[in-house]
């Protein structure tokens, strides 16, 4: 009985109906829950992407507006910077281009301590300056700025720059301006320190970002980086790897990049704000890092989905309760019917089926059961009469079968007796004939010896046929299931070799296998097969190897061999001459080998090439037996 039937027999029809209803409701509920999660997830992710894009775009556009304001402020300092160049240019003219004669510190004292003076030569190197930290600074590695300096040097007018940080002094912000020397050998540079608490502080990027960051709850931080990878408005500076990433991948490639941090559940969008202007030396472009919290997004999705899940669970429970009431109403008439049938089945055939419940179908069923009970009474009576008749016929049949079986057994024993006599007498005649034939071989002339050898071969073939028939009859008559015991393999092989006039290469073995007295027939049939197909002058090699719990015996000859596509056929009954050469034999030798090895000893046998890949160079039969 299957598990399904055992399970259904333990449950009532009402319980089965309830289970079916639950199994219907649960997948529907799970489908609704999955659809709800998918819908909530898509909605929140869509809103997240929309809010993310709007937030980033708003901040970027606001930064551009702030930069425009800063540009206006920076340009308002140009008049101040132009006046600062007047004493600087006068001193250069007076020195006739010999900067070693120009006292830069004296000029600075005249301008004020907020000023610093620089002289940049044709190699873009600061050769003279009042800012000791910048002396020797070479701008050649900044291709755009180097080109800007060349344009200024070759020009004739003042060029104002933006308010930026210095390259080597990163805290103070300065207004920079440039003027070419009349001989176009140098660029005179002037810087002016800006008070960070002055009017410019009202146009700070960080203040603008803080005001806009609150519009996106998933945005945890916004950081600004200049073109050198340094933070703007932050006390901490990025590590070298991050600076290198920003400079090469964001600023250098001028594209947006996203990095994920799965350990923290965050990701960061790096966006470039291109603020570069032609004709301005300093590039005020920005890289903005927007860091978002994906955990908060997942929490919001889960919270919204849990709410939907509770609603779905409530509806599922309500649906199951409604279906339960419906199932009870359906199963009640069936329960009454089952109770009545149980009473009838217990032997009360006179019990009446209760009618009038459950509709037309149940009334029809109740009437059918009543009719069936009446017919059952009649059938039982007939069955009892038939049983008596069958019992009498079985007794007579058993007597007949026993008599015929005894008669068949006696005839079989008689036939086996005659076969034993015939086999014994034929073997005696064969031995006598073989003896005379061998005497004739010794006495025959050389030209007659081939005929005598053919006679001896025919006698051997006849002997093999009688031995094989006797072996197959013994196996069929009950010896097939004889018990196995440890057998000395070496004695068996050597005795089998001694029965044939063959050249055999065999080193001997000390192994024992699980077999019986019929094991020798395996090797005699294999050796007999070799001498029939390869001739008495063939060479045979026997090898014995041990592998785990098995012993493998391989008998190889140098006869004609068997093609690969026909090797399996050599173990079939009555299969002959697979090698293509005519040979004497009845085609059952290797069949007996396979039968004994596989069915009697639980081993295996296979036909291989003596030389692998060359069937024409000989056949090798390998037998695998269980080690004792």
* pLDDT grade for 116, boundaries at 50, 70 and 90: very high
Q: Are 257 and 250 in contact (CB under 8 A)?
A: yes
| Ramachandran class of 572: left when φ > 0, alpha when ψ lies in -120 to 50, beta otherwise | beta
The 10s digit of each residue's pLDDT in 574-607 is 676 666 554 555 567 888 899 999 999 999 999 9
- Dist. CA 545–CA 623, nearest whole Å: 11
Class level of CATH domain 482-626: alpha beta
Report domain extents, the chain. Answer: 12-350, 482-626
Confirm whether pTM is higher than 0.85: no
Cβ neighbours around 49 below 10 Å, total: 10
- Dist. CA 360–CA 342, nearest whole Å: 22
Mean per-residue pLDDT of the chain: 82
Triad 327, 330, 336: Cα angle to 5°? 120
118: which 2 tokens? 């620089």
The two beta strands, 539-547 and 503-506, are parallel
The 10s digit of each residue's pLDDT in 51-70 is 888 888 888 888 888 778 77
Alpha helices (H) in 444-548, listed in sequence order? 449-476, 489-498, 519-534
- Dist. CA 336–CA 332, nearest whole Å: 7
* pLDDT grade for 92, boundaries at 50, 70 and 90: very high
Q: Are 489 and 553 in contact (CB under 8 A)?
A: yes
The 10s digit of each residue's pLDDT in 278-300 is 777 777 888 888 999 989 888 88
- Dist. CA 318–CA 618, nearest whole Å: 83
Count Cβ neighbours within 10 Å for each residue of 522-534 and write b for 16 or more, e otherwise: bbbbbbbbbbbbb
- Dist. CA 435–CA 456, nearest whole Å: 9
* pLDDT grade for 16, boundaries at 50, 70 and 90: confident
Which are the contacts of 420, defined by CB distance < 8 A and separation ≥ 6? none
From 200, 193, 182, select the one nearest 88 (Cα to Cα).
182
The two beta strands, 503-506 and 485-488, are unpaired
- The three-state secondary structure class of 541 is strand
448: which 2 tokens? 């007659």
* pLDDT grade for 517, boundaries at 50, 70 and 90: confident
Residue written as token pair 């027939």: 521
The 10s digit of each residue's pLDDT in 521-572 is 999 999 988 888 877 778 999 999 999 999 999 999 998 888 988 888 888 8
């Amino acid at each position: 009985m299957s598990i399904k039937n055992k399970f259904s027999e333990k449950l009532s029809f009402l319980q089965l109906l309830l289970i079916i209803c639950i199994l219907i409701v649960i997948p529907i509920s799970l489908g609704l829950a999955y659809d709800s999660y998918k819908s909530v997830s898509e909605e929140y992710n869509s809103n997240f992407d929309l809010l993310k894009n709007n937030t980033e775009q708003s901040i970027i556009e606001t930064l551009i507006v702030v930069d425009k304001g800063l540009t206006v402020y920076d340009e308002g300092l140009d008049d101040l910077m132009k006046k600062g160049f007047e004493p600087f240019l006068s001193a250069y003219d007076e020195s006739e281009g010999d900067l070693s004669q120009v006292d830069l510190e004296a000029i600075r004292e005249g301008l004020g301590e907020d000023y610093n003076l620089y002289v940049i030569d044709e190699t873009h190197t600061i050769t003279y300056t009042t800012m000791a930290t910048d002396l020797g600074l070479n701008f050649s590695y900044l291709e755009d700025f180097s080109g800007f300096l060349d344009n200024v040097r070759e020009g004739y007018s003042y060029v104002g720059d933006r308010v930026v940080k210095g390259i080597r002094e990163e805290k103070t912000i300065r207004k920079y301006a440039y003027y070419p020397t009349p001989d176009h050998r140098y660029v005179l540079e002037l810087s002016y320190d800006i008070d960070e608490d002055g009017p410019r502080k009202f146009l700070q990027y960080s203040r603008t970002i803080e005001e806009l960051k609150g519009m996106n709850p998933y945005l945890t931080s916004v950081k600004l980086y200049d073109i050198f990878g340094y933070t703007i408005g932050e006390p901490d500076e990025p590590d070298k790897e991050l600076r290198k990433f920003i400079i090469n991948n964001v600023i250098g490639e001028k594209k947006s990049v996203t990095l994920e941090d799965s350990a923290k559940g965050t990701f960061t969008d790096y966006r470039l704000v291109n603020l570069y202007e032609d004709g301005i030396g300093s590039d005020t472009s920005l890289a903005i890092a927007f860091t978002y919290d994906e955990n908060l997004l997942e929490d919001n999705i889960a919270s919204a989905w849990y709410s939907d899940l509770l609603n779905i669970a409530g509806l599922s429970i309500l649906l199951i309760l409604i279906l339960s009431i419906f199932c009870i109403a359906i199963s009640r008439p069936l329960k009454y019917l089952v109770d009545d049938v149980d009473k009838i089945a217990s032997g009360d055939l006179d019990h009446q089926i209760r009618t009038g419940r459950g509709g037309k179908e149940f009334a029809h069923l109740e009437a059918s059961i009543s009719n069936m009970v009446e017919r059952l009474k009649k059938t039982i009576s007939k069955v009892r009469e038939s049983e008596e008749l069958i019992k009498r016929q079985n007794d007579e049949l058993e007597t007949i079968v026993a008599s015929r079986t005894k008669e068949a057994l006696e005839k079989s024993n008689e036939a086996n007796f005659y076969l034993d006599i015939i086999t014994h007498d034929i073997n005696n005649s064969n031995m006598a004939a073989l003896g005379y034939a061998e005497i004739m071989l010794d006495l025959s002339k050389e030209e007659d010896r081939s005929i005598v050898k053919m006679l001896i071969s025919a006698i051997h073939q006849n002997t093999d046929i009688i031995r094989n028939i006797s072996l197959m009859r013994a196996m069929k008559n009950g010896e097939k299931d004889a018990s196995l015991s440890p057998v000395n393999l070496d004695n068996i092989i050597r005795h089998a070799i001694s029965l044939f006039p063959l050249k055999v290469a065999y080193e001997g073995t000390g192994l024992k296998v699980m077999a019986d007295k019929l094991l020798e027939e395996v090797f005699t049939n294999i050796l007999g097969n070799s001498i029939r197909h390869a001739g008495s002058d063939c060479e045979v090699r026997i090898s014995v190897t041990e592998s785990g719990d098995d012993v493998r015996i391989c008998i190889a000859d140098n006869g004609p061999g068997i093609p690969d596509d026909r090797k399996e056929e050599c173990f079939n009954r009555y299969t002959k001459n697979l090698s293509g050469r005519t040979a004497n034999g009845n085609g059952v030798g290797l069949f007996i080998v396979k039968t004994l090895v596989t069915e009697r000893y639980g081993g295996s046998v296979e036909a291989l090439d003596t030389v692998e890949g060359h069937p024409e160079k000989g056949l090798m039969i390998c037998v695998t037996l269980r080690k004792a």
